Amino acid sequence: MKIYKAYAKVNIFLKITGKRESYHEIISRFMRVGTLYDELSFAPKTKDTFEIIGDFSCTIEQNTIYKAYKALLDATSSESLEKLMQTYAIKVEKNIPAFAGLGGGSSDAATYLKMCNEVLHLGLSNNELAKIGANVGADVAFFVYGYDSANVSGVGEIVQEFKEDILEFEIYTPKVEISTPIVYKSYRENFYSPLDGFETYELKNKSSLEILESMSIDEANDLFKPAMQEYKELKEHYRAGWYFSGSGSSFFRVKEKSLI
């Protein structure tokens, strides 16, 4: 069976630009982590229901892969998709930590959508898959497009490729399970200070290396301070010179001589 790689990402920067109903609008640079990925494949089933074989703490219904299946089925009404999942399980070799700000769940969902599109010859474009993925999670669109680096805006649905050399990272993920909604709520209540249009334009046009060389951890990521406030144990894990991905809990830094 073919193995599909679901890559992790880091947020080089993540800034809040405003609100849209109950959501926050962002501008962020996502960069793919080429050395960290889950591996997905179709495998023989061991039970009658929708089956995911892998190390997950959530229920099937909470799993982003199952949510991606339901969203794809709703969008296509594909009988061949139903038959596929009656015949096969999805096997996941899980390497990306959960609750880590590295996009593991979103990447798994996007990879599943692309697997089904390829195997079943559904003929959906990346734009169509990204729209379907938006019903699963805010970061799914980035992983559907498969860019090395991109500026991501809106509530995650606007993905613009950013041409630059991909960096190699050291990543450290402490065992702190962070709730993204809790961090955003804390930001909104205690730290709300949206970025203006001029600063947004400047950030979108700077290379990731320039940004990391010129910004501190809290300047680069608006969610760092609220995460530290809500999860006091993070202070024990913070190290000078490291950056914070998403709402956490992962810290990262660029490896020396990391242009690959």
Tokens 């940004």 sit on residue: 211
Listed in sequence order, the residues at least 6 apart from 233 whose beta carbon sits closer than 8 Å to its beta carbon are: 174, 176
How many Cβ atoms from other residues are within 10 Å of residue 116's Cβ?
24
Q: How far apart are CA 237 and CA 258, in angstroms?
A: 23
Which residues belong to the annotated binding site for ATP?
97-107
Contact status, residue 106 vs residue 64, Cβ threshold 8 Å: yes
The token duo for 59 is 């229920």
Q: How far apart are CA 225 and CA 14, in angstroms?
A: 12
Residue among 25, 147, 131, 141 at smallest CA distance from 75: 131
Q: Pick the catalytic residue: 9, 15, 67, 206?
A: 9
The answer to whether residue 139 is catalytic is yes
Q: How far apart are CA 112 and CA 6, in angstroms?
A: 9
Q: Pick the catalytic residue: 38, 108, 139, 222?
A: 139
Please list the active-site residues: 9, 139
